[in-house]
Amino acid sequence: MNGPASNHSGVRVQVRGLRKSFGDQPVLRGVSLEVEPGETFVIMGPSGSGKSVLLKHIIGLETPDEGDILIEGESVQSRGFMDKYRMAMVFQSGALLNSLNVAENVGLYLTEHRLKSPEEIRRIVAEKLEIVGLTGSEDKMPSELSGGMKKRVAIARALVVEPQLILYDEPTSELDPLMAVTIAEEIVNLKARIHVTSIVVSHDRDLAFGVADRIAMIADGEIIFVGKPAEVRACTEPGVRKFLAAEFKLNKT
Amino acid sequence: MFQNIGEMVLLLWRTIQSLPLIWRQRAKVFDQLFEIGNASLLMACILSVFIGGVIALQTGVLLVDRGLGSFLGGVVGVAIAQELAPVMMSILIAGRIGSAMAAEIGSMRVYQEIDALRTMNINPVHYLVMPRVVAIALTLPMLVIFAILVGWFGGAMVAAYNKHIAISFQAFFNSLRDTVEFHDVRNGLVKSFIFAIIIGLVCCHQGLVTIGGPRGIGRSVTKAVVNSIVLILIANYFLTRVLINID
Ligand SMILES: Nc1ncnc2c1ncn2[C@@H]1O[C@H](COP(=O)(O)OP(=O)(O)O)[C@@H](O)[C@H]1O
Ligand SMILES: [Mg+2]
């Protein structure tokens, strides 16, 4: 059960005509986008617009009603797909295993797939925890952590995978500004170090404009704009303007 | 309940397929074994004494009145080994352990822990279901052996000390030894093994399909226990039919 060959390079992600409804509520209404290998792609949009659902489709946790998701040209729904590529997702809530302590959570991928010896795993876990500023929290249980700490442990757990594609669901939403900057830096570093493809869902304008190669705006299950940060700033589309302006107001209160 | 049977058969198949990984998951199996033993041994003991006692009381009075008191040990012995110990222990485990499994897996489902496992390419069947099903399938038959012995003892106590029955310990166990054969106990164990698999699958399955927040978990737990018990009692009839034909 070894991971795929450790070619440290990001993967290309294509989403084509993705539709998904829950019951009779359409959540994604024909989403198409393409993310280049090694690109950092940020998806912004109001809450409830289907961002988390889109991420879950990209990593194969949800099955599309229509359309498909291709990674390096292969459907994520195809058999054995997960054995071929290393992917990681940082869930909005962290989604740590509550029965395991921090170190076990962070090292889970390596222990379950028996990729490293216990000493090596301990060293890697300590190294990743240091990156997210949680050195020495190895023995804490998730129930003892704040929301932001859980999120950071979840990020450490994703880093351990040395992923080719990493999905962040609102990585900075529960962090203080300093830690948000640290996480943003780590998103950029990871890209520089292993040339990972990153897809970041966030409301955080600073994060988005700070890390993004390109930004997509999503509203009501549809992509309304895609472009470089400068293009988004210059965009006159009412939906985009409204969202960015609303965020300014929110930031002031 | 019955629309889920197909899914449970599939889960059983996936669990069987993952059995080769049992050595790798041994730590989790041991954790579960320990938990099950810890949670159920005392309760099993108390339950078995009273079950043995009540069956001796009911049949004892009936048999003694007809001058058939010397058969009491055999009747109680077979009833406990074949029916009461496996069924009652399974119901106990469904309520005590199955409910906890459904709750734990259900909350992992609701709080996206299972999604997180899947993104790490960790199969929830290997990681969660298989160790639990194996642990129940190992412990329940052991618990049943224990319950049979304690139940016989409880029956003998009542037979000896109830004034109306008044059959000595020795007479009770002589009758028991003459009547109860190896296959009576074996059948009890075979049944309990199958009930164990039913409990493990039903409860893990219910956990995995949990939707909605904390209320969803509560609903899953109730369903897991009720469905386990219903399936155990239905399966018990058919298993008895099959096992009677074999002997
Ligand atoms: N498993 C599900 N079942 C039913 N509805 C869902 C499910 N997941 C998400 N939804 C609905 O889809 C919509 C978009 O959700 P989500 O992607 O989480 O929004 P956000 O953009 O805030 O991340 C919401 O209205 C939510 O209620
Ligand atoms: Mg979301």
What pLDDT, in 10s, does the model give residues A222-231? Answer: 999 999 999 9
pLDDT tens readout for residues A167-217? 999 998 888 888 888 888 888 888 888 889 999 999 888 899 999 999 999
Decide if B214 is inside a domain. yes
Helices (H), chain A: 51-58, 81-84, 102-112, 118-131, 147-160, 177-194, 205-211, 229-234, 238-252
Report which protein residue has its CA nearest ligand 1's atom 4: A22
Q: Is A144's pLDDT higher than 90?
A: yes
pLDDT attached to residue A19: 96
Query: Where does ligand 1 bind, in terms of residues with CB under 6 Å?
Result: A 22, 27, 47-53
CB B76 within 8 A of CB B155: yes
pLDDT tens readout for residues A91-109? 988 999 999 999 999 999 9
Report which protein residue has its CA nearest ligand 1's atom 16: A50
Longest dimension (CA), chain B: 70
Atom nearest to A47 CA in ligand 1: 22
What confidence tier does A39 reach under pLDDT thresholds 50, 70, 90?
very high
pLDDT attached to residue A190: 82
Describe the strand order of the beta sheet including A87-90 as a list of residue ranges: A87-90, A165-169, A197-201, A40-44, A214-219, A222-227
Structural domain count, chain B:
1
Atom nearest to A49 CA in ligand 1: 21
Number of neighbours of residue B163 by Cβ within 10 angstroms: 5
Q: Which residue of A has its CA nearest to B123?
A: A112
Report which protein residue has its CA nearest ligand 1's atom 27: A48
What pTM does this model have? 0.89
Partner-chain contact B115 A60, CB within 8 Å? no
Looking at the complex, report in whole angstroms how far the Cα of residue B116 sits from the nearest Cα belonging to chain A. Answer: 6
Partner-chain contact B24 A87, CB within 8 Å? no
Atom nearest to A92 CA in ligand 1: 23
Q: Virtual CA dihedral for B15, B8, B131, A141, nearest 10 degrees?
A: 130
CB A3 within 8 A of CB A86: yes
Q: Is B239's pLDDT higher than 80?
A: yes
Decide if B247 is inside a domain. no
Partner-chain contact B120 A97, CB within 8 Å? no
How much distance in Å is there from the Cα of A53 to the middle of ligand 2?
7
A166 CA to centre of own chain: 5
Top residue of B120, B123, B126 to mutate, by most chain A CBs within 10 Å, is: B120
Mutate which of A19, A25, A53 for ligand 1 pocket (most atoms within 8 A of beta carbon): A53
Instruction: Say whether A106 sits in a helix, a strand or coil.
Output: helix
pLDDT attached to residue A251: 56
pLDDT attached to residue A246: 65
Buried b (16+ CB within 10 A) or exposed e, B225-242: bebbbebbeebbeebeee
Class of domain A13-94+164-245: alpha beta
| Residue span of the structural domain in which B106 resides | 2-15+25-241
pLDDT attached to residue B139: 95
The answer to whether ipTM exceeds 0.85 is yes
CB A132 within 8 A of CB A186: yes
pLDDT tens readout for residues A234-247? 888 887 887 777 65
pLDDT tens readout for residues B58-116? 999 999 999 898 899 999 999 999 999 999 999 999 999 999 999 999 999 999 999 99
pLDDT tens readout for residues B157-215? 999 999 998 899 999 999 999 999 999 999 999 999 999 999 999 999 999 999 988 89
In one-letter notation, the amino acid at residue A158 is: A
In chain A, what percentage of residues exceed pLDDT 90?
65
Decide if B176 is inside a domain. yes
The rounded mean pLDDT for chain A is 89
pLDDT attached to residue A7: 52
Decide if B246 is inside a domain. no
